[in-house]
Amino acid sequence: MRQGKTTQITQRVYQVGLLGIIVLLLLGGVAYLFLRPPRKRSQLQPLLEPLPQHPQIQVYMNQQQANSFVDLRGIDRYGDDHEGLILDFINSAKQSVDVAVQEFRLPRVAKAVIDKHRSGVKVRVIIENTYSKGWSEFTEAEASRLDSHRRPRYEEYKIFADDNKDGVLTTEEARRNDAIYLMKQAAVPMLDDTADGSKGSGLMHHKFVVVDGQKVLLTSTNFTWSDAYGDYDNTETRGNANNMMIIDSREVANLFLEEFNLMWGDGPGGKPDSKFGVQKPHRPARKVQVGDAEVWVKFSPDSKSQVPWEATTNGVIAANLYKARKSINMALFVFAEPRIGNLLEEKQKQGVEIAVLVDPSFAYREYATTLDLWGYVSTQDCRVGNRRPWSKPIPGKVGIPALVKGDKLHHKYGLVDDELVITGSHNWSASANHLNDETLVVVKHPTVAAHYRREFDRLFENARLGPSRKIVETAPQVCPPNGSKKRVARRRKTAPEDNNLEQE
């Protein structure tokens, strides 16, 4: 009898112990998701001295050489940790967090949003409808039909989400590494740009966060691995070159909240009164004094038929470039706006030094304004009446940066006289101007501008300048005669100038 009781006690101890181990493993798995990899301190020594920061307007570059961090892949590298900055920014919230971002794929950021939501902080999230479905929600059949932009990202996600790296992605692994799925499960208030009853705006392309109605984080960085760090399965990459700005100003924050509230309307389950794209009213550029800095805020899009071009976001860009007396430096993902090209030609004739870098995937396109600067005409020139190229192209100052294969020049900024910065999510294109939900911010202050100048100099140092051989051999120097307009239109239609390639 005593032996039987001893056996029963042993079995119970074994069962309790086994249960405890299972609980610990489950807790460990959850912790592994949200703490992986730990935010270790970098061992790299900075190559440059850090630049001073404006007390209310801080700037961060994810590849700059005055700082270093350990990235999502465990790589010790140079740059400012954009995901870490986003996490700190969200974690600082006491009352509200409002996020508007095209693509949201970082599970640690999702966990920070979820934690704030569960703690009673008012949280709202707006995303682009193309990315409103979590990766774990795709069947293999659906995944097989993804386009050439999203399919590689899906495959990259499967590698990242495979926690034990055994080559088998379980349902549990897939879900606990899926930012969108996690936020849906936690009932975080979230909508996309179909909430206005449409099929979506051109792109809901914003990339900003507002905390407590007081501070704004705005950036060119999408909440993705490739934008923040680099391709998860390619350790040579360092992420798309991006900038980030954090502005501490209630007046600036209120302007961003006005834009957010237009898109949010009554929110999920409310009246279908959200406004995206050109359904929103024209919002002119508005000026705010932030300490000793001047800040202008402008949101896109504007109706092509109802708003004069000069009052659109591209018009605001042109007006600020026109202020240049000494220099204009531009680092752009897309440059496809011939009227800004016309202005640059005028400034060059006035003696202004001009240097332009454009992402390789756009610089050589037949619609790109870089062609104008090299002495050719683009398909866009022919559409707006620019029949001939510049009389004096820019020698040795226009080209593409030397990037690791897989990384992009994802900036959207211009720098005027080393004191005025034009930045935001807004690509310098017609689609950004007339279709997409976009942000443009202009800041006049030399301390802020210095960060953008250093980044431009870094990118320009090893840049490939001048047109490609193909451009030299095939690009036209005059538009086709009027009888060839249909051929030009067909060429224009087949060149994906707008949203397909701006799916970043």
Q: What are phi and psi of 399, to 5 degrees?
A: 180, -150
- CA torsion 235-62-424-404 (nearest 10°) is -40
Intervals of the chain under pLDDT 50 = 1-3, 5-7, 9-10, 13-14, 16, 18, 20-37, 483-501
Secondary-structure class of domain 282-494 per CATH: alpha beta
Task: Report the distance separating Cα 389 and Cα 59, nearest Å.
Answer: 37
Do 283 and 299 touch, CB atoms closer than 8 A?
yes
User: How many residues are given for the chain?
Assistant: 504
Of 297, 284, 219, residue with least CA distance to 253: 297
| Superfamily in which the 32-256 domain is placed by CATH | Endonuclease Chain A (3.30.870.10)
- The answer to whether the Cα torsion of 371, 375, 376, 377 is positive or negative is positive
Looking at residue 312, what is its pLDDT? Answer: 98
Radius of gyration of the chain (CA): 25
3-state helix, strand, coil in the chain (%, to 5): 40, 20, 40
Model confidence pLDDT, tens digit, residues 205-214 = 999 999 999 9
Q: At what angle do helices 107-118 and 2-35 cross, to 10 degrees?
A: 110
Q: Tell me if residue 248 falls in helix, strand or coil.
A: strand
Q: What is the DSSP string of 358-383?
A: E-HHHHTSTT-THHHHHT---HHHHH
- Work out the number of other CB atoms within 10 angstroms of the CB of residue 385: 8
Task: Report the distance separating Cα 401 and Cα 370, nearest Å.
Answer: 14
Distances (CA, A) of 208 to 99, 244, 421, 450: 6, 10, 17, 22
- Please list the residues that pair with 465 across neighbouring strands: 399
**Six token digits for residue 93:** 């919230």
Of 283, 245, 286, residue with least CA distance to 263: 283
Q: Quick one: DSSP state of residue 272? A: S
Task: Report the distance separating Cα 457 and Cα 452, nearest Å.
Answer: 9
Q: Which residues contact 290 (CB under 8 A, 6 or more apart)?
A: 56, 57, 247, 248, 249, 251, 252
Of 52, 74, 77, 76, residue with least CA distance to 65: 77
- Please list the residues that pair with 58 across neighbouring strands: 246
Equal fold, 32-256 vs 282-494:
yes
- The answer to whether the Cα torsion of 420, 423, 428, 430 is positive or negative is negative
Q: What is the DSSP string of 322-353?
A: TT-SSEEEEEES-EE-HHHHHHHHHHHHTT-E
Of 430, 344, 305, residue with least CA distance to 380: 430
pTM for this predicted structure: 0.89
Chain Cα centroid distance, residue 82: 11
| E strands, 17-167, in order | 57-61, 68-70, 76-78, 96-101, 122-127
Task: Report the distance separating Cα 299 and Cα 283, nearest Å.
Answer: 6
Question: Domain boundaries in the chain?
Answer: 32-256, 282-494
